[in-house]
Chain A
Amino acid sequence: MDLGEWLRGECPACGHGVALAHVDDREGRRTLWCVHCGTPWPFPRIPCAYCLNGDPETLSLLSPDSETAYRAQLCSLCRRYLKEVRNGEPLESFPFDAAYLGTVALDLLAAGEGYIQESPLMARRAEGIRETSSRGETP
């Protein structure tokens, strides 16, 4: 199967939602990663991986101003965010699981802005997130 034609935010192997994106510093290509089974798959740079919104006016990257290679892509249409790491590490050796856990600071930043955590880490418990959740779920 050619994963380049998948173009979805769900894992092509197990159907679980995306948890982290990696952007290759040299070629600029973005790869999504499944937190459930660890499958990586290619995905375009611009669109929101959750709602596939591709309007650049409604998308932005939120990052600490000291470290812009670690950022959260915010979608103001579906109010969800996706963590993204940009570095020169080859895809084969990039530690997705470690980067996913090591970038919890980004979860806090994005949640603090009122965006919804879609991957399993429970930052959604933070105060103020429940009101902005469009899915109406309470922990």
Chain B
Amino acid sequence: MRISRRSFLGATGASALGTALSLFRPPGAEAQHDSNAPPMKTVRTKQTPSICPYCSVGCGILVSTREGKVVSIEGDPDHVINEGSLCSKGMSLYQVAVNERRLQKVRYRAPGGDRWEEKPWEWALAEIAKRIKKTRDATFLPREGGKVVNRTEGIAFLGGSAITNEECYLHAKLARALGVAYLEHQARI
């Protein structure tokens, strides 16, 4: 077997090879643990197959995590759909999980205002509900040309592809219950 210089991978491989060769002693011989080398620091990485959350192609991805934190996301080379490749959006998926520019708190800018202010979630959810109710009541159209239509023309509802299947179902339910006709998905725009 030919061993090139590359085989040693620097000092790590060379010193470890020496240590390993010392393991080739006959059974019963005294083991010598006289190395002064400190124990090597190690990391454990978990690879989990998943599906890209963006468009309906459904490319396979491999998510690498260490201690619960995402360290990299790549295309799954064994996935039948994309065979390891990803589009530019899929390739930047890591930035969805780890991004210091991602907003962590609710920010609100009043109509006509020129600055953002931080608001609590409770306030934001109540405010959204209040405004949806107001717009819905103001623009609800029960009949048109003698036919019952029961639709809300003042609201458009936009879903996103990072939303799960089950969440999409709930969103569609909510939108139809409000009478929304303009229900769309971000990937089709």
Contact = CB atoms under 8 A, between A and B. Distances in A.
Q: Determine if chain A interacts with chain B.
A: yes
Interface of A: 27-30, 44-46, 56-57, 59-68, 70-71, 74, 95, 97-99, 101-105, 107-109, 121-123, 125-127, 139
A27 B77 contact: yes
A46 B78 contact: yes
A59 B45 CA distance: 9
B20 A123 contact: yes
A64 B12 contact: yes
Nearest to B29: A125
Interface stretch (B2-10, B114-122, B132-140): B2-10
B84 A29 contact: yes
A68 B7 contact: no
Contacts, number: 113
B48 A139 contact: no
A108 B19 CA distance: 9
Nearest to B44: A60
A106 B76 CA distance: 25
A63 B42 contact: yes
Interface of B: 1-4, 6-9, 12-13, 15-17, 19-20, 23-25, 27, 31, 40-49, 62, 74-78, 84
B43 A65 contact: yes
Contacts of B24: 122, 125
A67 B12 contact: yes
Given A45-B62, A46-B49, A108-B16, A101 B7 contact: yes
A103 B3 CA distance: 12
Nearest to B46: A60
Q: Is the interface of A mostly helix, strand, loop or mixed?
A: mixed
Given A29-B77, A70-B9, A104-B16, A56 B49 contact: yes
16 contacts: A30-B77, A45-B62, A56-B49, A60-B46, A61-B47, A63-B43, A63-B45, A65-B42, A68-B45, A95-B4, A98-B6, A98-B7, A102-B9, A108-B16, A125-B27, A139-B27
Nearest to B85: A27
B51 to A, nearest CB: 14
A125 B23 contact: yes
Contacts of A109: 40, 42
A107 B75 CA distance: 28
A28 B23 contact: no
Contacts of B46: 56-57, 59-61
B49 A121 contact: no
A65 B41 contact: yes
Nearest to B27: A139
A97 B45 contact: no
